[in-house]
Structure 1
Amino acid sequence: MNTKAIYAACLFAALNICTLSARAEGNVQAQTYTYGTHLDIQKVLSMTEDAGPDCGVVNAHMTYLDSAGHQQALDYSKFSDHCSDGN
């Protein structure tokens, strides 16, 4: 077997392993935050909240990477982004 074929086979195998791990992390079960929950957040990937035109408490969702590089998800409650300062 020539060198190019070996390199191509190694590259193909590495890409397949990365794809499988990405699919596994995409199916992360969201944890619901409660007071005292230990959070290990290295990098926030996305944050969303329920739509609502009024100021008040809404449900929110955060997807993040922990210190080991694993994708995690968290559901929590927060004041809406529609709340102005002082409300």
Structure 2
Amino acid sequence: MKKILLLGLPLIVSLSAYALEPAFSKDSVDYKYGMRLDINKIVNITSPADVCGPTPVEMTYLDSKGAEHVLHYSVMGTGCTN
């Protein structure tokens, strides 16, 4: 029984870590410090993960010409407590 548990535990941990990875769009851009953004209207922002530390989010927005863009950036997760 202990052998089954020891063999199954890494599988469960790896699957749960895989589930936490965000699934971002292919056409999205990573934000870089100093990047000029032409944001006219924000369409959607994904929710940050429930972790204590930086976590990626995705923002979909429209520029002044009406073109849609998708941007990745990091925010502090919601899992931290005081």
Tell me, yes or no, whether TM beats 0.5: yes
Normalising by structure 1, we get a TM-score of 0.56
Q: Which has the higher helix share?
A: 1
Cα distance, 1:56 vs structure 2:
1.3
**Superimposed CA distance per residue, residues 6-37 of structure 1 (whole angstroms, 9 cap, x where no aligned partner):** xxxxxxxxxxxxxxxxxxxxx87111101011
2:69 matched to which residue of 1? 72
Q: Judging changes above 3 Å, is the alpha-carbon distance between structure 1 residues 50 and 36 closer, same or farther for their aligned structure 2 residues?
A: same
Q: Which has the greater radius of gyration?
A: 1
Task: Extract unaligned runs of 5+ from structure 1.
Answer: 1-26
State the number of aligned residues: 58
Normalising by structure 2, we get a TM-score of 0.59
Equivalent-residue separation in structure 2 for 1:64 and 1:79 (angstroms): 21
Cα distance, 1:80 vs structure 2:
1.8
Which contiguous aligned blocks of 4+ residues in structure 1 show a shift greater than 3 angstroms? Answer: 81-84
